[in-house]
Chains A and B, each alone.
Chain A
Amino acid sequence: MTTNTINESLDEVHHDEHHDHKMTGLKRWLFTTNHKDIGTLYLWFSFIMLLTGGALAMVIRAELFQPGLQIVEPDFFNQLTTVHGLIMVFGAIMPAFTGFANWMLPMMIGAPDMALPRMNNWSFWILPFAFAILISSFFMESGAPNFGWTFYAPLSTTYSNGSTAFFVFAVHIMGISSIMGAINIVVTIMNLRAPGMTYMKMPLFVWTFFIMAYLLIAVMPVLAGVVTMLLTDTYFGTSFFDAAGGGDPVMFQHIFWFFGHPEVYIMILPAFGIVSTIIPAFARKKLFGYSSMVYATASIALLSFIVWAHHMFTTGMPLFGELFFMYCTMLIAVPTGVKVFNWVATMWRGSMTFEIPMLFSIAFVILFTIGGFSGLMLALTPVDFQYHDTYFVVAHFHYVLVTGSLFSIYAGAYFWLPKWTGHMYSDTLSKWHFWCSLISVNLLFFPMHFLGLAGMPRRIPDYALQFADFNKWVSIGGFAFGLSQLIFLAVVIKCIRGGEKAPAKPWDGAEGLEWTVASPAPYHTFSTPPPINEDKH
């Protein structure tokens, strides 16, 4: 890893500032090719999507507050769960990470910008249109997609409500955007590293995004393929997934999950990178086992290609298939465990302080590990027959995606907000945000384990009476968690508008080239590459 005691003079930074030829007003944002502007756009977009998807989730939780159908019709309920999932995966988590990549990667590797700035602009600006198409289907006669975010055929083909075309085109645009973003990340990291920054000297953050981008390039075309087959099955009379025409509905699931499983690592590897940056900073101790972290990340990425069918144990796979996918899935626990152990070893005999980014990171390690435990349990095929498609699964993936990915995004946002805005965030407000989120998120998702074990299937708008008590608490947790996120909005707005001035390096234990430039980071940084010092390890 880089030890960067580079003393780039602040004069040079000021010099840079005189050279921004940025346009003003709306035009600046529409035509920008600046990685920091585009990063900002991605981050705001993902936050708006988080609130949108969250609003849908709160309607779901309101309906499930008590038994009986009170607020929405079952069909609309299915539309809510479907669009909630799509928005959170493709609209909130993935763009947020691309936002981090845009803002931080060039600054971390000492590059002046992303390698392909014009494409960068385009890959962001097609996203709002994708989601406009998706969300607009709510206001059409047919209604929004109602077949679950996994859109299993034939529910999404022969038996769909007519929203399939809108869904397919929205996903296509999201996919194009992701692929362009990923290509940009790969090209930037491979070509624009400051001289002397070898691969094994890159910050772990850069490594995780590098590997994540490769995963994206590998699997996004698979998603594009499967939605296209869906489209032709629905509208052009093909029979890829229809047994009557020689197809197979289970083949849909194989193709979908061949994309879908690497996709979940696309959403968690960058989280590993963020947390691996923050924990050493506040433990004031170098990241333990840097190279083993790189290898663990790469192993997870490789293994992610051969575990997809663990989502499909109940589809009637042959015994051999079930065994193979069970063993491979269990194997993923090994590199993931190495990561967790390394984080703990980093904290061990450190000199810890607990600023907000650290609090979110610690919460990440504990709660993500809980999600990992339920993942390990789900890997055991015989027991998966009981867990599959119940709230136990819902609990599992919300632990890894909300208290995993989302918490890491918050950790990273608090960590770099001073660099982005030039101000320190409000300590009081951000503490409220953390503690309210931490308590409510566990009230929201932990009882879901019990509901699933007791036998409550997922994606149902109404449930048997023995599930009533837990559902009530889950809903209360859901409302509280949703509202708590507004505190974050307040923190960010307050931080942008003013507050204590942030020094170039507000965290004494932080390492990395990004802390060598002023706060806020000048519009252009590293027009000439910074010198990289010899590594200590």
Chain B
Amino acid sequence: MSKSNQRWWMGVGLFFTSFFSCSAWSEAQINLTKGVTAVSREVYGLHMLALYICTAIGIVVFGAMFWSMFFYRKSKGAKAADFHESTTVEILWTAIPVIILIAMAVPATSTLIDMENNDNSDVTIQITGSQWKWHYKYFDQNIEYYSVLSTPREQYENHNGSFDGNGVLKGKDYLLEVDKPLVIPANKKVRFLITSDDVIHSWWVPAFAVKQDANPGFINEAWTNVDKPGIYRGQCAELCGKDHGFMPIVVDVKSSADYDAWLTEQHELTAKAADAEKASLSASMSKAELMQLGETTYMAYCAACHQPTGLGLPPTFPALKGSAVATQGTVENHIALVLHGKNMMPPFGKQLSLKEIAAVVTYERNSWGNDTGDLVQSSDVKAASGE
């Protein structure tokens, strides 16, 4: 090897080592997670088995190639041999891979059979994906709620090109945080029934090794049994439209006692919400109150499509600013649209309280230059819903 050649290789070596010695790398994960369930550990074991087998085959095959490249080069005076076929060798390198494959297929089969056994679950939760949030419903518990991304828009919308937006630093769990996580008990078999309201989504939590598509009109099953309480994060894994990258999954695994306490708390909250709903029917909110609640609700539920500016993203998502529905149409019509949805727009009747719908309709009719002056109260929404 010539001297200049040597220097060149040293340069290449330095370049690559500088990559991996950089301090930031200590945080970057480069391998599959072992996870926190018996199944996820089996899956991890399979992954490592496959990786080791591939590495070993790679060393042999690439080794033979590099050996040829170094020792059988013409410049070293190598003369080509004449052989070009051998049935024995062909049979050998057909049979050996088959044996290796069987060695991989056996453990894979047993893990798979285990993963697909959805019997005897302790808790059943229905998971429904919709553009772009998750809905969780606990069977036999009368608990259900939506789980939405809680990272503030300012953190990810930095079109001015700066790394941290308008001085807004990204949080630790940037894009992996939600307002209300799914709560499940540890050491219990939890069964998920997964479906969708609109397009196909996929519910994925790497730590559980659970990834199951949410197909509209069909129900898929999956299960987990987590042995360590904690917070586990995942994301939607199937392209589901514009905000596919913005519908994370957070699971809060609680110990049995904590889980029971949480259930009790949820029942109390549900009861309170029902009372508040009733109370709101007779209450009358001021414009300021309505507009404030309306803005919060709008930003959380409507802004993804209709945009914070009310300009929408035409032609798919129409503008509300100056729109017929929000300026000329009747309040009843506007409420009905929010309650029942239309085309791609989902119905919000089940997602929002009467008060929130009243507020959001008020907000939409009195923002961005829309000035109908209409104030909508919970009772109006109740009346429009006809229930």
Chain A interfacial positions (CB closer than 8 Å to B): 66-71, 73-75, 78, 141-142, 146-148, 152, 154-155, 158-159, 161-162, 242-244, 248-250, 283-292, 314-316, 319, 322-323, 326-327, 330-331, 333-334, 337-338, 340-341, 344-354, 362, 365-366, 369-370, 373, 376-377, 380-383, 385-386, 388-390, 450, 453-455, 457-467, 469-470, 473, 537
Cα A89 to Cα B371 in complex, Å, equals: 51
Q: How far is the CA of A244 from the CA of B81 in the complex (A)?
A: 67
Q: Which residues of B contact A386 (CB under 8 A)?
A: 32, 43, 47, 206, 209, 211
Given A155-B240, A344-B64, A380-B104, do A350 and B72 touch, yes or no (CB 8 Å)?
yes
Contact, CB under 8 Å: A376 / B54: yes
CB of B275 within 8 A of chain A? no
- With A352-B72, A389-B237 known as contacts, the answer to whether A345 contacts B47 (CB < 8 A) is no
Contacts of A459 in B (CB 8 A): 239, 244-245
In addition to A71-B161, A347-B69, A382-B39, 16 A-B residue pairs with Cβ atoms within 8 Å of each other are A74-B242, A78-B241, A314-B212, A330-B105, A341-B61, A349-B68, A353-B73, A382-B43, A385-B210, A386-B206, A389-B237, A454-B28, A457-B237, A457-B245, A465-B172, A469-B22
B238 within 8 A of A: yes
**In the complex, which residues of chain A have a beta carbon less than 8 angstroms from the beta carbon of B58?**
369-370, 373
Shortest CB-to-CB span from B2 to chain A, Å, is 17
B residues within 8 A CB of A68?
Answer: 155-158, 163-165, 170
A70 to chain B, nearest CB (A): 5
Chain B interface size range: 35 or more
Distance, CA A345 to CA B65, complexed state (A): 9
A66 to B157, CA, bound (A): 12
Given contacts A347-B68, A380-B50, A388-B211, contact A243 B218 (CB under 8 A): yes
| Closest chain A CB from B72 CB (angstroms) | 5
User: A382 and B206: CB pair below 8 A?
Assistant: no
Closest to B212 in A: A314
Tell which of B32, B51, B158 has the most Cβ of chain A within 10 Å.
Answer: B32
Contacts of B314 in A (CB 8 A): 141
Q: Which residues of A contact B64 (CB under 8 A)?
A: 344, 348
Are B72 and A469 closer than 8 Å at their CB atoms?
Answer: no
A330 nearest CB across to chain B (Å): 5
Contact B209–A455 (Cβ < 8 Å)? no
* Contact present for A353 and B101 (CB under 8 Å): no
A340 near B97 with CB under 8 A, answer no
Whether a CB of chain A sits under 8 angstroms from the CB of B175 is: yes
Chain B positions within 8 Å of A292 at CB level? 85, 90
Q: Name the contact of A465 in the complex, choosing from B50, B174, B241 (C-beta under 8 A).
A: B174
From B108-116, B284-292, B320-328, B333-341, the one touching the partner chain is B108-116
CB–CB A369/B61 < 8 A: yes
Question: B293 to nearest A CB, angstroms?
Answer: 27
Do the beta carbons of A75 and B242 come within 8 Å of each other?
A: yes
Query: Quick one: given A78-B239, A341-B93, A373-B58, are A351 and B159 in contact (CB under 8 Å)?
Result: no
Name the one of A71, A352, A390, A473 contacting B237, with C-beta atoms under 8 angstroms. Answer: A390
Contact B215 A78 (CB under 8 A): no
Nearest CB in chain A to that of B28: its residue: A469
Task: For the complex, give the distance between the alpha carbons of A322 and B78 in Å.
Answer: 50
CB–CB B175/A162 < 8 A: no
In the bound assembly, the distance between CA atoms of A142 and B86 in angstroms comes to 60
A388 and B69: CB pair below 8 A?
A: no
Alpha-carbon distance between A388 and B83 when the two chains are bound, in angstroms? 43
Q: Measured between C-beta atoms, what is the minimum distance from A87 to chain B in Å?
A: 18
Ranked 4 nearest A-B pairs via Cβ: A243-B217, A460-B245, A316-B220, A373-B54
Residues of A contacting B80 with CB < 8 Å?
283-285, 349-351
With an 8 A cutoff between CB atoms, is B298 at the interface? no
Q: Which residues of chain B (285-327) have a CB below 8 Å from chain A?
A: 313-316
List the A side residues contacting B65 at CB < 8 Å.
Answer: 344, 347, 362, 365-366
Give which listed residue, B33, B72, B84, B163, contacts A286 with CB less than 8 A: B84
Pairs across A and B, CB under 8 Å, 11 listed: A67-B156, A159-B199, A250-B218, A285-B81, A290-B85, A330-B101, A351-B73, A380-B47, A389-B202, A453-B32, A473-B19
Residues of A within 8 A of B57 (CB): 373
- Tell whether A385 pairs with B115 under 8 Å between CB atoms, given A69-B159, A349-B81, A377-B51: yes
Report A-chain residues with C-beta under 8 Å of the C-beta of B158. 68-70
C-alpha gap A155/B101 in the complex (Å): 37
What CA separation (Å) do A341 and B60 show in the bound complex?
10
State how many angstroms separate the Cβ of B378 from the closest Cβ of chain A.
32
Q: Which of A152, A243, A286, A350 has the most CB of B within 10 A?
A: A350
Decide if A383 touches B46 in the complex (CB within 8 Å): yes
- B246 contacts A462, C-beta separation under 8 Å: yes
What is the chain A residue whose CB lies nearest that of B81? Answer: A349
Given contacts A380-B108, A388-B211, A389-B238, is CB(A464)–CB(B173) below 8 Å?
A: yes
* Bound-state Cα–Cα, A333 to B105, Å: 13
Residue of A nearest to B33 (CB): A455
Q: How far is the CB of B115 from chain A (nearest CB, A)?
A: 6
